[in-house]
Every structure is written in structure tokens, then in C-alpha cells.
Amino acid sequence: MIQAHALHKRYGRLLAVDGISFKVEPGEVLGFLGPNGAGKSTTMKMIAGFLAPTSGTATVCGHDVQSDPMAARRSLGYLPEGAPGYGEMSPEGFLGFVADVRGLTGGRRRERLQAVFRRLSLEDVLHQPIDTLSKGFKRRVGLAAAILHDPPALILDEPTDGLDPNQKHEVRTLIRELARERTVLLSTHILEEVEAVCSRAMIVARGKVLADNTPAELLARSRFQGAVSVLAADSIAARAALDGMPGVSGFHQEAGDGRLYVFPQGKPVAPDAVAERLRQRGVAFSGLQPERGRLDEVFRRITTAQAKA
Amino acid sequence: MSAVYSVFKREFGSYFSTPLAAVFLVIFLALAGAFTFYLGGFYEAGQADLQPFFRFHPWLYLLLAPAVAMRLWAEERKSGTLELLLTLPLSLWQAVLGKFLAAWAFLGLALALTFPMWITVAWLGDPDHGVILASYLGSWLMAGAFLAIGSALSAATRSQVVAFILTVVICLLMLLAGFPMALDLVRGWAPQAWVDAFAGLSFLTHFQAISRGVLDLRDVVFFLLCIATWLAATVLVIDLKKAD
């Protein structure tokens, strides 16, 4: 379990983290979303014990990160942003070092090292300097270091940043597997990732929590949730035909492909009803399809609304 | 203690995984030899001792110890591994001590590789081996003090070049503290007691006795205190500058 209570961090005049509180239970994956500079990394660094909070407290598995830092660090696996590693060392040497500092010895040490080599498919690059590895492998080495001691809690700062789609998929699968009996807190600014791996998402901007929901709840906030879109040659006629239809709150026409979006009022717009009405009014159309909520739109609305306020 | 050893082992090994160790050792030995034979007049002195050898060690360290120390923390900061290291279950003290000991052991190795000098003098004459051993120990202690200064300054920046230059300047100041050039810097504004205290910090004064083979307890304590102080400064600097 990871818990933060009223965390604040001030850098000179800048308040980077402004009273963030949350709780992540085992089995949960909490995604930290937010624009760059929102305070995601700073919050994670405070929980990982790298930075001291200006005020507030954080606990990892019940151990306070300030009053009992060693116990908190032992229960936590941490992947810093960019997955740093000692470039001149090989993955084997580097992970061996992490195992030593973490106090793993003898059979347990061997067993854990073998386990992470296998799990992250590092066997082929064990003896190459980390500097010469591809980005994907470097990230895997960082992840291996984070899960080496089989910690009950994990903090991953942008675990898939800069990876290609296949590598992203691999890392996400791994995180889902890891999350089964662990507590995971990860940050990302890739919105699709939230739907792919997170059971809960927190939107953070300017050091404050602006939303804390499940991905489905966040999607429901999108105006595209329950909407219907259609392509019509005569979009003005289509719009006129659908105007005043019960359960429709408004329209938006995409500038690029001319697709017309019909937004719902309350419950979702029924595609059949739209088709029926267009046919009745004699408007030719194609490509009628239901829409689902868009996280990027919700994200933009939530984070920019606050900036304006 | 095992965390200190793990950090030590990693750091010490890292010198040898790049050409740094080889380049450094060769230059160290070549310079040590050149100083002894050309500047020190080892043969001309006609004495079976290693004074011409040890006399130039402060200047050798002035140039080469900062080169070893500059990477200690600046590199960790630059590559982001600082965050990784300091979120592992070890205290800041253990990390600072482990890395310092690795650098110190590395300079110790360089110093040990000058053993042919000892063999030469033993073959040519009949030197006092106790004196030579004491001088070696004193020289190594002084190297530690130089490295501790470098450790603190390396912690203050992410640029190894800046760390190197700052360390050379501070080390030069510490070397020459007892000499008029450095004393004039202080004399203008500080009370006499401070000036005397500053003069007492001179590495050169403390090392002179050692290079003659007099391993005075006060000199040993001086260098050990110096190391402890600068390592404490390292801890402080890292703690204050973590966020940058």
C-alpha cells in the first residue's frame, strides 16, 4: 500500500506539489496523469525517499518515508524517470550491485537475479555495457532493478516513455502481471496507457489533484461518450435534419474529413434512431458509427480549465 | 557496513571498466618517476632514501587527485543514477563513504605501483625501511584529504570539468595555506587567530614532516580530520542540492 497525505514541495518560490493526498491498495494500478511540470515526478521522488517533502507525509506499506526511510525503501521498487543505470556496467554487474545493496545473498540472490533476467528477457545482453543497449533494453534493465527484491509496492516514473509500440506492449503486459498482488503507482503522459493498464487514474496539474477516477469514469466525462458520428455529403442538410431530435445536445463537424458528430443529452444517442431520421428526411449518409469517450479531450478540458481559473 | 562495501566494490570496479584506470596509472607512474629523477635529483643526491620521491607528491596529487575525484558525484548527478543510488536502502553517509573509499583505494593502488622505486633504492643502498613505509602511509593519507575535497566539490556540480578546476584551486589553497601568497588572502580581513588557524591547515607543512619519515600522530589526525570534514561537507552538499 502506498499512501500520501497532504504532500507539499516548494522549490524557492515555486510550489511544485500543492497538497497531494491519495491511497493505493494492493492489486491497484494508479496512473498519474498530467502535463509536464505538473508535479508528478516530484511527488514520486518524495515517496521514493529521494526528496524530502516541505510538509505532509507519505507511507509505503505502513512505513513512513521520513521517520523510517530504510523500511520504506525496502518495501518499494522504484524506476526513476529515464531509467538511469551505470552506463559502463553490464546489466549483470549492475543488477548484481543492486542485489548487494539490497542485502540479497547466496541462493536467494542467484534465484532473484535469474528470475528478473528471464522475466525481462535480458539473457542475451547480460554482458554488454548498458550504454550500448537500445532504449528498450535500458528500460528493461531499470525495471529489472526495480523488481529485483520482489517488492510489495512499485513506483514507475514514465515506464514506457520513448519505447516503440511493441516494447510498450511488453512493458504494459509486465506491469499488469506485476500488479496482480502488488501496489503500483505509475506516471505517464500517454493517455492510451491509462486505459491499457491502470485501474485508477489521477489527473494532476500545477501540483494539485484535479480528478481521481477509474478510466471508465473519466471517459464518461467526455462529450464524445455516447455520441454518434456520420459522414454526409450535404452536412448542412444532415445537421438540419437532426436538429431538434430528442436526446441530442449539439453538433461538431470535424474540419479534416467532414465527419459530423452528434452529441448526446443524458443517455447515449442511438445510431438506429439517427439513421432512421436521416432516411426520413432524405439525407444521403455513410459511415454511421457510435463514438466512445476520448481521454485526451477530458484531459485537456480538466487541465486547461484549471490553468485559466 | 555491507552497503558501504557494495558501493565501494561497484565504484572501484568502474575505474577498470573504462580506459580511465590504465591511462591514470600510466601517467601517475610516469610523472612520479619524472619528478623524482629530473626535479628531485634522485641520483645526484647520492643518498639511499626516497625523499626526492615523496617531496613532489603534493604536486602530483594536486594535478591527479582531482581527476580521480571529479567523477565521483558529478557523473551520478548527470546520468541520473544519483536518484537510483539514493533511493536504495542505504544512508547517504554509506554512499559517500563507499565511493570515497573506492577513490582512495584506487590512488592507494597507484601509489603501491611505485614499489620499483623502493626496490631500486634498496638495491642501490641501505635505506631505512621504516621511514619509507611511514612516508608511504603519510602520502596516502594526504591523497585521501585531496580526494575528500574533490568529493565535496564534485557533489556541488554536474559538470566534471567544473569539479576538476574547483578542486585544483581549493587543493592549491590548502597546500599553500602556510605560505605568504595564501596567507595574504586572509590577513587583510581576518583576526590574527584565524590567520594562524588557516596557516595550520597547510597540507605542505603537515606533509613535510611525513616526507622526512616522521609520522607524527598530530599529522595523521590532521589528515583524518580533514577527510572527515570534507566528507561531511559532501553529505551536506548532496542533501541540499538533490533537487537540481
Domain membership flag for residue A152: yes
The verdict on A242 and A101 lying in the same domain is: no
Question: Closest partner residue to A102 among B14, B89, B243, by Cβ?
Answer: B89
Distance of CA B211 to the CA centre of its chain: 15
| Grid cell locating B71 | 567523477
Most confident of the following: A60-69, A186-195, A274-283, B189-198: A60-69
- Predicted TM-score (pTM) of the model is 0.88
pLDDT band at A51 (very low <50, low <70, confident <90, very high): very high
Domain membership flag for residue A305: no
Q: B89 vs A73: CB contact, 8 Å cut-off?
A: yes
B24 CB contacts (<8 Å, ≥6 apart)? B15, B64, B67, B68, B106, B110
Question: Closest partner residue to B17 among A84, A88, A97, by Cβ?
Answer: A88
The verdict on A52 and A132 lying in the same domain is: yes
The verdict on A96 and A173 lying in the same domain is: yes
The verdict on A41 and A65 lying in the same domain is: yes
The verdict on A168 and A281 lying in the same domain is: no
Q: Which of A49, A35, A68, A36 is nearest to A7 (CA)?
A: A49
- For chain A, the domain total comes to 2
Domain membership flag for residue A154: yes
| Grid cell locating B118 | 623502493
The per-residue pLDDT for B46 is 66
The verdict on A193 and A135 lying in the same domain is: yes
Domain membership flag for residue A179: yes
| Grid cell locating B93 | 553517509
Q: At what angle do helices B2-16 and A91-101 cross, to 10 degrees?
A: 160
A256 three-state secondary structure: coil
Domain that holds residue A261: 228-292
The verdict on A284 and A187 lying in the same domain is: no
The verdict on A97 and A237 lying in the same domain is: no
CA distance B163 to B69: 8
The verdict on A200 and A235 lying in the same domain is: no
C-alpha triplet A24, A27, A33: angle, nearest 5°:
50
Q: Which of B143, B141, B146, B120 is nearest to B40 (CA)?
A: B120
Other beta carbons less than 10 A from residue A263's beta carbon: 19
Domain membership flag for residue A287: yes
Cell numbers 558525484 correspond to B73
Cell numbers 469517450 correspond to A293
pLDDT band at B111 (very low <50, low <70, confident <90, very high): very high
Question: For chain A, what percentages of helix, strand and coil (3-state, to nearest 5) are there?
Answer: 40, 30, 35
The verdict on A251 and A130 lying in the same domain is: no
The verdict on A162 and A240 lying in the same domain is: no
CA distance A276 to A29: 43
Question: Closest partner residue to A51 among B18, B89, B242, by Cβ?
Answer: B242
The CATH number of the domain where A242 resides is what? 3.30.70.100
A83 three-state secondary structure: coil
The per-residue pLDDT for B93 is 95
Set of chain A residues whose Cβ sits within 8 Å of the Cβ of B2: 100, 103
Say yes or no to pLDDT of A114 above 70: yes
Domain membership flag for residue A73: yes
Query: To probe the interface with B, which of A54, A63, A86 has the most B CB atoms within 10 Å?
Result: A86
Distance of CA B220 to the CA centre of its chain: 14
Pairing of strands A260-264, A248-253: antiparallel
pLDDT band at A163 (very low <50, low <70, confident <90, very high): confident
The verdict on A83 and A140 lying in the same domain is: yes
Q: Tell me the torsion sign for CA atoms A72, B240, B107, B20.
A: positive
Whether residue B89 lies within 8 A of chain A, CB to CB, comes out as: yes
CA distance A174 to A196: 12
CA distance A220 to A240: 27
Provide mean pLDDT across the span B202-230.
85
Domain membership flag for residue A307: no
Pairing of strands A55-60, A2-11: antiparallel
Domain membership flag for residue A300: no
| Grid cell locating A163 | 519505447
CA distance A173 to A187: 16
Q: In chain B, whose CA is at the least distance from the CA of A48?
A: B87
- Residues B146/B148/B153/B156 CA torsion (nearest 10 deg): 170
How far, CA to CA in Å, does A43 sit from each of A3, A53, A113, A141, A182? Answer: 11, 9, 29, 23, 20
CA distance A148 to A292: 39
The mean-pLDDT minimum among A53-67, A213-227, B186-200 falls in B186-200
Say yes or no to pLDDT of B147 above 70: yes
pLDDT band at A135 (very low <50, low <70, confident <90, very high): confident
The per-residue pLDDT for A308 is 53
Of A197, A220, A243, the one marking the end of a domain is A220
How far, CA to CA in Å, does B38 sit from each of A144, B52, B99? Answer: 54, 10, 35
DSSP B199-212: HTT-HHHHHHHHHT
Higher pLDDT, B218 or A3: A3
Other beta carbons less than 10 A from residue B48's beta carbon: 14
Q: A 150-209 residues with CB below 8 A of B?
A: none
The CATH number of the domain where A138 resides is what? 3.40.50.300
Provide mean pLDDT across the span A142-149.
94
CA distance A294 to A302: 13
Q: B17 vs A89: CB contact, 8 Å cut-off?
A: yes
Of A220, A250, A274, the one marking the end of a domain is A220
Task: Say which amino acid occupies B178.
Answer: G
The per-residue pLDDT for B189 is 79
Whether residue A228 lies within 8 A of chain B, CB to CB, comes out as: no
Set of chain B residues whose Cβ sits within 8 Å of the Cβ of A80: 80, 83-84, 87
Q: Which of A144, A9, A24 is nearest to A66 (CA)?
A: A9
CA distance B28 to B112: 11
- What are the two backbone dihedrals, phi and then psi, of residue B53, each rounded to the nearest 5 degrees? -75, -50
